[in-house]
Amino acid sequence: MSNSLMTISLQARWQVRHVLWLLLLSLQLLGLPDTSIAAIYTCPAADGSTIFQDRPCPQKASAGTDSRAVRKLPFDIHPSWFELPEQAEERAFCDRRRCECGLHEREHGSALARAVADALYMDGGWHRYQVSYQLWRNEPAASARNPQLNAAMQEAACSVMMSQQLLRDFSDEVSEELRHRVRSAEERGFDEAGPCEADVEQACDYLDSVELYQRLLLDARALQSPRELITSNERLPVDE
């Protein structure tokens, strides 16, 4: 950099600092509290310039520190099943009683274990999203059906994301609970249909847990293969 350009750069920085100093002095004269004065942050922009804002500068994520990438996926499910649908406009949030995604909601109440098991039916959810995506993509943008097709695609995307979030948040807890129930059923001899058919107290409840755990393991094993091998032989086209 030449001396002239360096001089201009230093002058520009001094002018910016001078303007900020005058602004802070004006705020003090107006009697605003110190918290208003302190909440000015100087942050580097992506293009190398400097921006001023009232929020702390965003922290730069180090390479390989993506929490979703580092966190072990439940049941050793292949990471491709936890990719976000490309056209999704919302994000999913789940608690112990329901999942929400935009205007869509999935309630599971006290049946959290069954909800987690149902969430493993993600191959069907992804297939539904792919079909709705293709229908929306093939429809002209000016078509009267376009909003309806987009709404169907967003609903399918939310269904996938609610299943993903439910598995991330509660699969470990549910699998541990079911393993404990299965051990108890085996100790009591309730892991077979006979006691349930004989109306032995609690036998049917234990048998339901055994069957649910077996189903959970079977469905999870199917998702340990890449999604492309199960839902489609071709990847969805990427919008340009």
Residues 83 and 177 placed together within one structural domain of the fold: yes
Residues 96 and 198 placed together within one structural domain of the fold: yes
Residues 154 and 35 placed together within one structural domain of the fold: no
CB 210 within 8 A of CB 184: no
pLDDT at position 233: 44
Q: Which residues of the chain have pLDDT under 70?
A: 1-41, 43, 45-71, 231-240
CB 79 within 8 A of CB 226: no
Structural domain of 33: 3-53
Whether 106 maps to a domain, the answer reads: yes
Residues 45 and 76 placed together within one structural domain of the fold: no
Among the listed residues 215, 237, 230, the one whose alpha carbon sits nearest the alpha carbon of residue 81:
230
Q: Coil, strand, or helix at residue 133?
A: helix
pLDDT at position 30: 57
Whether 240 maps to a domain, the answer reads: no
> In this structure, what is the dihedral angle of CA atoms 62, 67, 68, 69, given to the nearest 10 degrees?
50
pLDDT at position 230: 76
Residues 77 and 145 placed together within one structural domain of the fold: yes
Residues 95 and 178 placed together within one structural domain of the fold: yes
pLDDT at position 51: 63
Whether 151 maps to a domain, the answer reads: yes
Residues 197 and 81 placed together within one structural domain of the fold: yes
Which letter, b or e, does each residue of 156-191 get, where b requires 16 or more Cβ atoms within 10 Å of its Cβ?
bbbbbbbbbbbbbbbbeebbebbeebbeebeeeebb
**What contacts 9, CB < 8 A, 6 or more positions away?**
1
Residues 123 and 18 placed together within one structural domain of the fold: no
pLDDT at position 62: 40
Residues 102 and 186 placed together within one structural domain of the fold: yes
pLDDT at position 45: 62
User: How many structural domains compose the chain?
Assistant: 2
Residues 88 and 151 placed together within one structural domain of the fold: yes
pLDDT at position 19: 62
